[in-house]
Amino acid sequence: MNISRRDFNKLIVSGIAGSALGVFGGIGNAYAAKNRVVVIGGGFGGATAAKYLKKLDPSLSVTLVEPKAAYITCPFSNWVLGGLKTMEEITQTYGNLSSRYGVKVMADTAVSIDTARSTVTLKGGAVLNYDRLIVSPGIDFKWDAIQGYSQEVAEATMPHAFQAGPQTVLLNRQLQMMKDGGTVLICPPANPFRCPPGPYERASIIAYYLKEHKPKSKILILDAKDKFSKQALFQKGWERLYPGMIEWRGAAKGGKVQAVDSAAMTVTTELEVLKGDVVNIIPPQKAGRIAFDSGLSDASGWCPVNPVSFESTLRPGVHVIGDACVAGPMPKSGFAASSQGKVAAAAIVRLLRGKQPVSPSLVNTCYSLLAPGYGISVAGVYKISAEGIVEVPNSGGLTPIDAGDDQLMQEAMYARGWYNNIVKDIWG
- Considering only 18, 42, 148, 357, the residue that binds ligand FAD (CB under 6 A) is 42
Residue number closest to ligand FAD, CB atom = 43
Q: Kindly give, in sequence order, each residue whose CB lies less than 8 Å from that of residue 222, ignoring residues fewer than 6 positions away.
A: 185, 186, 187, 249, 255, 256, 257, 267, 269, 274
Using CB under 6 A as the binding rule, whether residue 71 contacts ligand FAD is answered as yes
| Residue 211, beta-bridge partner list | none
Residue closer to ligand FAD (CB basis): 45 or 148: 45
- Considering only 74, 175, 178, 185, the residue that binds ligand FAD (CB under 6 A) is 74
Using CB under 6 A as the binding rule, whether residue 335 contacts ligand FAD is answered as yes
Give ∠ CA 303-366-133 in degrees, rounded to 5. Answer: 30
Let me know: does 150 contact 141? Beta carbons within 8 Å.
Answer: no
CB of 393 to ligand FAD, least distance (A): 22
Residue closer to ligand FAD (CB basis): 312 or 333: 333
SS3 label, residue 310: coil
Residue closer to ligand FAD (CB basis): 206 or 324: 324
The one-letter amino acid at 198: G
Residue closer to ligand FAD (CB basis): 110 or 245: 110
- Considering only 19, 78, 217, 339, the residue that binds ligand FAD (CB under 6 A) is 78
Using CB under 6 A as the binding rule, whether residue 188 contacts ligand FAD is answered as no
Using CB under 6 A as the binding rule, whether residue 198 contacts ligand FAD is answered as yes
Let me know: does 203 contact 246? Beta carbons within 8 Å.
Answer: yes
DSSP state of 228: -
- Considering only 57, 66, 223, 277, the residue that binds ligand FAD (CB under 6 A) is 66
Q: How many residues make contact with ligand FAD (CB under 6 A)?
A: 37
Residue closer to ligand FAD (CB basis): 261 or 391: 391
Let me know: does 208 contact 83? Beta carbons within 8 Å.
Answer: no
Residue closer to ligand FAD (CB basis): 121 or 407: 121
Piece of 50-58, 83-91, 136-144, 256-264 that binds ligand FAD (CB under 6 A)? 136-144
Rg (C-alpha) for the chain, rounded Å, is 21
Q: Is the dihedral of CA 300, 333, 239, 247 positive or negative?
A: negative
Q: Kindly give, in sequence order, each residue whose CB lies less than 8 Å from that of residue 390, ignoring residues fewer than 6 positions away.
A: 328, 329, 382, 383, 384
Residue closer to ligand FAD (CB basis): 254 or 372: 372
Let me know: does 89 contact 423? Beta carbons within 8 Å.
Answer: no
Give ∠ CA 21-379-409 in degrees, rounded to 5. Answer: 125
Piece of 34-42, 145-153, 178-186, 238-246 that binds ligand FAD (CB under 6 A)? 34-42
Site string for ligand FAD, 214-253 (x = CB under 6 A): ----------------------------------------
Using CB under 6 A as the binding rule, whether residue 411 contacts ligand FAD is answered as no
Let me know: does 304 contact 312? Beta carbons within 8 Å.
Answer: yes
Nearest-10 Cα torsion for 420, 167, 79, 278: -170
CB of 192 to ligand FAD, least distance (A): 11
Distance CA 183, CA 342 (A): 43
- Footprint of ligand FAD on this chain (CB under 6 A)? 40-46, 65-68, 71, 74-75, 77-78, 109-110, 136-138, 162, 194-195, 198, 288, 290, 322-324, 332-335, 337, 366-367
